[in-house]
Amino acid sequence: MIRFISKSIVVLIITCTQLQAQIKQPKYEAGIAAGAFVYQGDLTPYRFGSLKTMRPGLLLHGSRLLSATIAVRLQLSIASLYGDDAKYNNPAYRQQRNFNFRTSLIEVSPQFVWSPLGWSDAGKQLSPYLFGGAAVSLVRIRRDASAFNAAYFEAEPELFTHLATDLSVRTPRLMSSVPVGAGMRYSISPAVVLHAEASYRFLFTDYLDGFSRAANPERNDHYYNIAVGVIYRFGRRNSWDCPPVR
């Protein structure tokens, strides 16, 4: 029995030493990515958002690896969003309602990132990851109802009341959201990693597009982005130790 335990301890020590050599990683990562931001709200009939009005965006982020699979990331997104009823022929009333909006967007988001396969830099390999956190965005929403065809909606007097209410509401300058997403990493060297990811933002307002009661007040607005980029890894290498043997 003692011999078996001794052999087990030796095997455990050797295994941990090998694993440490394989997963010894730089502590820090910095990345840049570019992609498309897609508005999802009252001014599009499609479940997957307004693909016809997607806008480009830039993402900058820095990460600190906490363990073999967990990291914290701070991300800055600079982008814009756009939605326009007139882009859609079906249903027909959208061509007559003609609501549209544009907004600039500067978002700061601390996030946790989980990579189930770890942050391997040993050769080229694909590695999936998930992330989530919180975000605060500075926005400048410019809504436009100037092309609204009042004659077309004469049979719906309540719409005029709802529109007047919306236009009297001050649009937010700061918005909070919950970003969640997933991505893939591909190491091309120990220091350079390519990545692609998609991130969805759950908002707590229906005035991202400047309209609510005159559109669909039962659901909040949201948006998402798809991006590709490059990550640079640096800093003193960390070794995630095996549990001590007692």
User: What is the mean pLDDT of the segment spanning 209-234?
Assistant: 95
Rounded CA gap, 115 and 113, in Å? Answer: 7
pLDDT of 24-82, one tens digit each?
A: 678 999 999 999 999 999 999 998 899 999 999 999 999 999 999 999 999 999 999 99
List alpha helices for the chain, DSSP H: 2-23, 93-97, 157-168
Of residues 236 and 106, the one with the higher pLDDT is 106
Res 3: pLDDT: 53
Is residue 3, in this structure, part of any structural domain at all?
A: no
Is residue 246, in this structure, part of any structural domain at all?
A: no
Phi, psi of 8 (to 5 degrees): -65, -40
Is residue 17, in this structure, part of any structural domain at all?
A: no
In 3D, which of 43, 36, 88 has the Cα closest to residue 209? Answer: 43
Out of 52-56, 122-126, 145-149, pick the least confident: 122-126
Q: How many structural domains compose the chain?
A: 1
Is residue 91, in this structure, part of any structural domain at all?
A: yes
Share of the chain above pLDDT 90, in %: 74
Question: Please, what is the average pLDDT of the chain?
Answer: 87
Residues 104, 214, 179: CA angle, nearest 5 degrees = 40
User: What is the mean pLDDT of the segment spanning 189-200?
Assistant: 94
**3-state secondary structure at position 198:** strand
CATH value at residue 193: 2.40.160.20
Could you tell me the residue range of the domain that residue 213 belongs to?
26-236
In 3D, which of 202, 191, 197 has the Cα closest to residue 233? Answer: 191
Res 239: pLDDT: 56
Instruction: Please check whether residue 94 is in contact with residue 147, taking contact to mean a CB–CB distance below 8 angstroms.
Output: no
Is residue 241, in this structure, part of any structural domain at all?
A: no
Is residue 2, in this structure, part of any structural domain at all?
A: no
Is residue 15, in this structure, part of any structural domain at all?
A: no
Is residue 63, in this structure, part of any structural domain at all?
A: yes
Instruction: Please check whether residue 237 is in contact with residue 25, taking contact to mean a CB–CB distance below 8 angstroms.
Output: yes
Please enumerate in sequence order all residues whose Cβ is within 8 A of that of 146, keeping only pairs 6 or more positions apart, or say none.
Answer: none
Out of 14-18, 27-31, 235-239, pick the least confident: 14-18
Q: Is the pTM of this model over 0.75?
A: yes
Please enumerate in sequence order all residues whose Cβ is within 8 A of that of 172, keeping only pairs 6 or more positions apart, or say none.
Answer: 139, 141, 205, 207
Rounded CA gap, 173 and 204, in Å? Answer: 13
In 3D, which of 244, 245, 208, 241 has the Cα closest to residue 79? Answer: 208
